[in-house]
Structure 1
Amino acid sequence: MAETLSDQNILIVEDQEGPRRALMMILGSFYRIHTAETASAALKIIVESPIDLMLMDVGLPDYSGIELLRRVRATGRDIKVIVMTGGASIESAEEVLRLGAVAYLLKPFNFQEVLTLVENALTVKDPKLAS
């Protein structure tokens, strides 16, 4: 992974401490990390900080990740989004991809897969075209 990426900001939105800490450990050496446990807290960070990529869980305590993604898109900010979920549904996957998410990641996730998805999302002009 290129060291030049370290100036980029990633927001991890995950209400469960275990996955949130794991993602912080995986990505913290390469990127500036912000964390939120709720969709409301995530929106506050997005308004106050320059976020390049958001890794978010679909199941959040205050409202769904899909609703969070809609609200992020409504801000007009160009934030890449990777959606994580413990329970896959074709409908929710289609919805988040339609709303502009660059990837849909199933838990439990593979650490190398997370690193690859994040790096591709931040370096490729249109990350949906990366394979």
Structure 2
Amino acid sequence: MSAHSTLPPNLCRPNQRLSSAIGRARVLVVDDEYGPREAIAFTLGTEFEVDTAERAREALEKIVQSEYAVIILDIRMPEMDGIKALEKIRQIDPEVAVVMLTGYGTLATAQQAMVGGAGRGYEN
């Protein structure tokens, strides 16, 4: 049974990944707050091709369509939090680097993120 079998068909990565048209590493910034999301995107935009998503479901759809080198993921979001999104991201792309962000960090949250496969967490 593949990891993809637990996801709806619209969230399974196609066999052929789409690559960056300009040859730079792709980064996905996921945060429901406009200010932090756009500030991170602006800062990284000179060196990387940056996509943004306001919601976890939107991010999952983008991850299916494109390969990302890094995903920067807020923990506290409506509808689906970053911990749950991380679980789904790992089903789609187990190898992608994920950096978790939160303005409300606790040791328990950091441990959850690390167990879920986040590489590192930062408090914003």
Question: TM-score if structure 1 supplies the norm length?
Answer: 0.75
Amino acid at match of 2:47: F
Specify the code of the residue in structure 2 equivalent to 1:59.
R
Quote the residue 1:91 is aligned against: 108
Equivalenced residues, count? 102
1:54-89 CA distance string (max 9 Å, x none): 001001121110000000111244110000000111
For residue 67 of structure 2, give the secondary structure of its aligned residue in structure 1: coil
CA distance in 2, matches of 1:66, 1:50: 20
Task: Provide the C-alpha distance between the structure 1 equivalents of 2:62 and 2:95, rounded to a whole number of angstroms.
Answer: 14
5+ residue gaps in structure 2?
1-22
Partner of 1:49: 66
- Give the % identical residues: 29
Structure 1 stretches of 4+ moved >6 Å: none
Q: How large is the Cα RMSD of the aligned pairs?
A: 1.1
Structure 1 gaps, min length 5:
1-5, 108-131
1:20 is matched with which residue? 37
Q: Which has the higher contact order (CA 8 A, sep 6+)?
A: 2
Amino acid at match of 1:63: M
Whichever structure has more helix as a proportion of its residues is 1
State the alpha-carbon separation in 1 of the partners of residues 102 and 42 from structure 2: 19
Give the TM-score normalised by the residue count of structure 2.
0.79
